[in-house]
Chain A
Amino acid sequence: DAGVTQSPTHLIKTRGQQVTLRCSPISGHKSVSWYQQVLGQGPQFIFQYYEKEERGRGNFPDRFSARQFPNYSSELNVNALLLGDSALYLCASSRGRGTDTQYFGPGTRLTVL
């Protein structure tokens, strides 16, 4: 079975621009979560979606938004990019229950110049 897929792999943007990152979960998984990992740190939770509804949001500004589609794929949008948004963005999928294992995609590496 295919794992979690993310696109694009790498992205370079300039300050003030907007970016959309995409994620397709493992078949049969209904929950998608997004994490931001800056260099030298562990991933930080941004959003969780389950059955197309937002189930959790981390401590990120409103410039960050996300949605989940009927096929359970997801998009993460970041507006008005800042230099500090440069990071590896990881998407994870799970069946959805609280302590279900989350399986991660390869990530999208975003560089903001």
Chain B
Amino acid sequence: AQKITQTQPGMFVQEKEAVTLDCTYDTSDQSYGLFWYKQPSSGEMIFLIYQGSYDEQNATEGRYSLNFQKARKSANLVISASQLGDSAMYFCAMSLKADRGSTLGRLYFGRGTQLTVWP
């Protein structure tokens, strides 16, 4: 069974500081993708960053980077230079890719981490 675990219900960080949000995953599949989404209080799920299971380099997107440690099955999100607008719920998610290209786009989500950035 596929599972995503986010052990930090809430995190606090001061503006301009860096913060790491933890995510571990469990799957026996070899081909999968890992995602981070941001959900402000408005409810919309905003895509931040993606890491493929065969990618050798850690993914980066602007102030977001994904610390991918495959052997430990962890995919932590690092936000550098936090801004007040980063305050939101953050979800780690995983999808699997079936053999021979068939689509298995289902996302498995963790419970999320509420990030609060203070001035």
Contacts and interface: CB of A to CB of B under 8 A. Distances in A.
A31 B43 contact: no
Given A33-B107, A48-B105, A58-B106, A98 B96 contact: yes
B25 interface: no
Contact of A33 (B44, B47, B106, B109): B106
Given A55-B103, A103-B47, A98 B110 contact: no
B106 A42 contact: no
Contacts of A104: 37, 44-47
Interface of A: 31, 33, 35, 40-45, 48, 50, 55-56, 58, 88, 90, 92, 94, 96-107, 109
7 contacts: A42-B4, A43-B45, A97-B101, A101-B35, A104-B45, A106-B44, A107-B45
Given A48-B105, A98-B97, A104-B37, 10 more contacts: A45-B107, A55-B104, A56-B106, A94-B105, A97-B97, A97-B105, A98-B103, A101-B50, A106-B43, A107-B43
